[in-house]
Structure 1
Amino acid sequence: MTRGTRHEYDLQTDVLATIVATTPVTKKHAALLTAFATRTDWRAARYVMTRDIYSDWPARVIDGEGREIAPDYRAWIDAQLAEHGSVSAVVDAHRESGYWLTEIRPLLHYFVHDRGGAQDNFAQFAVWEEQEYVERAVFPSDPRWGLPDVNELRRASGNGTEERIERRTLGEPRYALQEATDMQRFVALAGATWHARRQAEGDRRIVERDLATGQDRVLTVRELWPGYDRQRWPGRRFFDDWTDSSAGHAGERACARWTFNTSDYTEPGGGRHLNFVPQWAHTRKIAALKDTHRLNAYGLYGRLNQFDERIGMPFAWYFYGLHGNLVKSGQMERVLEAAEAGLIVLPECDYAVLRRWQQDPYGF
């Protein structure tokens, strides 16, 4: 989602953003959870997980005394390029400036307020933790070794010839609200948008030619694709499968085990696409299931049950299989085949979910 864009499912407000931004970063996010509990409607918000996969980004330009030259590096460098006309001219103009680049080390924390009931009935909050630091000069210390190109300069990616110092943090880490999402509204809107688009695509007519006779016939996409109208948006299926499986029957909540990286994109022609990618929230190191082709069906199912024990919930392997990194679709298919052959016993609810997936596969 784009920060600042308001949507039907967007819970972000200026007040909420201010509460997050003015709350100090503390151990285990205790202060932020207290702020949610005492200053917002999301009193039951809890921490779920942290994503530490994002690259550092450029922040400010400062001089050797730490005085701010520009609050936004990218805007400043664009202005310098516009004024001087080229990278080499910008470097020449500031050769003796002694300017330093500050950067942001980002972490993205996820919090959830679970309303209970339906598995998608929760609010999700994604909050940046940003730590500013300085460790390198803006421009190469010796241009004879080469200059960055325009794109490298704009990205502040450098070319390794900048003067460097030991990394020094600047100020305290701070929070910034990335997004606040009513997932039930998001899922409903995404499902309806997906269905409307699919209905329109299903009505599209295609001319099919019989190469033997040379005769043409006109068919709709729906007529060419068996089971076309049975398909549903994968995000809706994720929550329904959770509800119907032994995970849901055991009282496990999807929002406590996974977070959801949402996207909302509108094509230039007007077509809107809403999706999410589930992100597991386990913190233990979990190895992918490898070399299971050497195991018989019973051995494979035993490995999957061990996987569930490490995750701490039943039928976890199925949902990880939808993601595809740790459990593969081929392993899921083998379990179904073994269950139908009577080689293993699956809970009836899990068999029904797995069978439904095999008839109409989906994943993320």
Structure 2
Amino acid sequence: METINELEMVVALCEAHSVEAGIEPLVAQLNDHLPHRTFKYISCRGEWYRLGGVVDRGYRPVAAGLRQWLEQEISDDNLELFLERYLDAGYFVTKWRGQSYYLNAVVGERAEEFLQLEIEQLQQVLDRPLLDPDWLPDTVEELIDPLDFPHLEPEPLGEGCFRFRRLTPIRGLLSADERFNTGEIPPLQRLFSDWDRCSGRDVGHFSDFWVVVLHDGGEAQGSFSAARPQPARALSKESLNRCQTLKGSELANALHQIDYQLGHPFSWYFALQLSHIEPSSLIEQVLEDHAGEYAYIPERDLVILRDWMEEPYSC
């Protein structure tokens, strides 16, 4: 995105688009208005929930954000006065039920050279009463995120909507990583570098098959605390777990099946780096197979495996 006006246009297009129409027409509209970038719909992740606001007993809006409203209403940390004022008000706390759509636009040949546009599909729903006489909080944080509090059926409030979440130049994530200043290569950079020399690159750009999930750092719009690639297509945990017990032709078939599921060669390696499985035993078995009579991995991918064994990493 090159100008603030273009970003404002994206925000406006998202807000004006009907949820019933689906995401594909919105992608087409975005590309019509941004001819110098071609965004592709890659994947959808959800469903998730996020803290919402406050409504009255007639479900009319009182505040868009619960935390900000409480900061205004509870002066000098006088929680007791707040409880007296609102205990019988009949207010409800809401939450946002959402899905995240990932759209990517390639801007260069290297794995990290793409823009990632996140668009959320949101529906505000009832969550819980603001206050319950049988459960009164001792702190503001307990009021925001109470434990064992009676929740309501998530009744929809109003219509669903699309909303712009953030636009991220993925290359910028790397340059912003403070570890570059110490000479250390961050794991995400190593993952991208491995892509640039692997066989998967022959069938498309990294962003055709993967998204970078940014784990939110708070309620601030666009803030995040961590970045973690995820495959655009779903892969069951059992697929990689099963590979740990195999070798030879059975292992070759299992790895090729993962590649087929995720859409590109050598995808099993990237999925392994992002899993909760310790990678060394599986990589050692692949290298052991190729030291013998098997040859189911291209040589350039074997180089990556040997390099990993010399200097392991995970994302």
TM over 0.5: yes
Q: Secondary structure at the match of 1:117?
A: coil
Query: What residue in structure 1 maps to residue 14 of structure 2?
Result: 20
21-30 or 101-110, larger mean C-alpha shift: 21-30
Which residue of structure 1 lines up, in the alignment, with residue 221 of structure 2? none
Residue of structure 1 equivalent to 2:25: 31
Aligned-partner Cα distance in 1 for 2:227–2:47: 17
Q: Residue type matched to 1:238 in 2?
A: L
Distance 2:59 2:49 in 1: 24
Query: Which residue of 1 is the match for residue 220 of structure 2?
Result: none
Question: 1:345 and 1:174, CA in 2 relative to 1: closer, same or farther beyond 3 A?
Answer: closer
Calculate the TM-score normalised by the size of structure 2: 0.82
- TM-score of the two chains, using structure 1 as the length reference: 0.72
Instruction: Tell me the equivalent position of 2:273.
Output: 322
Q: 2:42 aligns with which of 29, 48, 54?
A: 48
Q: Structure 1 regions of 5+ residues with no counterpart?
A: 1-7, 199-230, 266-273
Give the letter for the 2:233 counterpart. Answer: H
| One-letter amino acid matched to 1:77 | L
1:173 aligns with 2:160: yes
Matched, 1:260 2:212: yes
2:311 paired residue number: 360
- Shift in CA distance, 326/173, structure 1 to aligned 2, threshold 3 Å: farther
- Greater shift, 307-316 or 282-291, is seen at 282-291
The Cα shift of 1:320 comes to 0.8
Counterpart among 118, 139, 145 of residue 126 in structure 1: 118
Partner of 2:286: 335
Paired residues of 2:209 and 2:262 also in contact (CA < 8 A):
no
Matched, 1:150 2:150: no
Change (3 A) 1:146 1:235: closer
RMSD between aligned alpha carbons?
Answer: 3.3
Q: Answer with 326-335 or 314-323: which moved more.
A: 326-335
Decide which structure has the larger Cα Rg and report it: 1
Letter paired with 1:40: L
**Percent of aligned positions with the same letter in both sequences?**
23
Distance 2:69 2:244 in 1: 57
Higher strand share: 1
For the 8 Å contact 2:114–2:170, the answer to whether it is kept is yes
Establish whether residue 96 from structure 1 lines up as the match of residue 95 from structure 2: no
Count of aligned positions = 306
Matched residue type, 1:39: H
Residue 181 (structure 2) aligned to one of 183, 187, 196: 196
Residue 22 to residue 161, structure 1, CA distance change in 2 (3 Å): same
Cα-to-partner distance string for 1:173-211 (whole Å, 9 max, x where unaligned) = 222222212223444x247x534322xxxxxxxxxxxxx
Counterpart amino acid of 2:195?
Answer: W
User: Aligned pair in 2 of structure 1 residues 123, 90: CA closer, same or farther (>3 Å)?
Assistant: same
SS at match of 1:354: helix
| Cα distance change of structure 1 residues 72 and 292 upon mapping to structure 2, 3 Å threshold | closer
1:85 aligns with 2:74: no
Gapped runs of 5+ residues in structure 2?
218-224
